[in-house]
Each structure stands twice: as structure tokens, then as C-alpha cells.
Amino acid sequence: MSNPKVGFVSLGCPKALVDSERSLTQLRVEGYEVSPSYEEADIVVVNTCGFIDSAKQESLDTIEEAMKANGKVLVTGCMGAQADLIK
């Protein structure tokens, strides 16, 4: 049986990048492999930025793209708690 695969997208500021690197490190420790594509992943994590309107739009576009390609998306970062906006 193969390890679960996670697709990961990091958007936004340097802090978001650091958070993404920490998350990826922990996921690898727990046995996850990083998938090169949404379609091959068991789940896709989108670490979002919501600082300015253009960043919010990029985050929403990326979430939509991941949902269409995979259907299983976990939203983290600035927009992680804004489910009403994401829906």
C-alpha cells in the first residue's frame, strides 16, 4: 500500500511560505508524499493569502481550480476561516 499523497499550494507572503514549509515537513514526517499534480493527490492543501483584494482573488481562483481537478481541498492561511466567502 502506498503512502497518501498531498498536493500543496502556497500563496502570499513570506510568513505563508514559512507556514507551508512547516506543514509540508510535518506531513512528510507523518508519511505523506507530495504530489506533483492535483489529480494524483489524495487531498490538496491551499495555503491562502487574504491581505489585499488581488491576493484574495488569486486564492479563490486557486481553490476553484483545485476543487475542479480533485474535489478534496483543505483551505488554510488567511482565508481558512472564511468558508462563507469560499462557498
pLDDT (tens digit per residue) in 43-74: 999 999 888 889 889 999 999 999 999 999 99
pLDDT at 86 exceeding the cut of 80: no
Q: What is the pLDDT of residue 87?
A: 63
Lowest mean pLDDT of 23-27, 66-70, 78-82, 83-87, name the range.
83-87
Q: What is the pLDDT of residue 50?
A: 82
CB atoms within 10 A of CB 67: 15
pLDDT at 84 exceeding the cut of 80: no
In the DSSP assignment, the letter for residue 37 is: S
List Cα–Cα distances, 81 to 30, 74, 78, in angstroms.
Answer: 25, 11, 7
Q: Say which amino acid occupies 43.
A: I
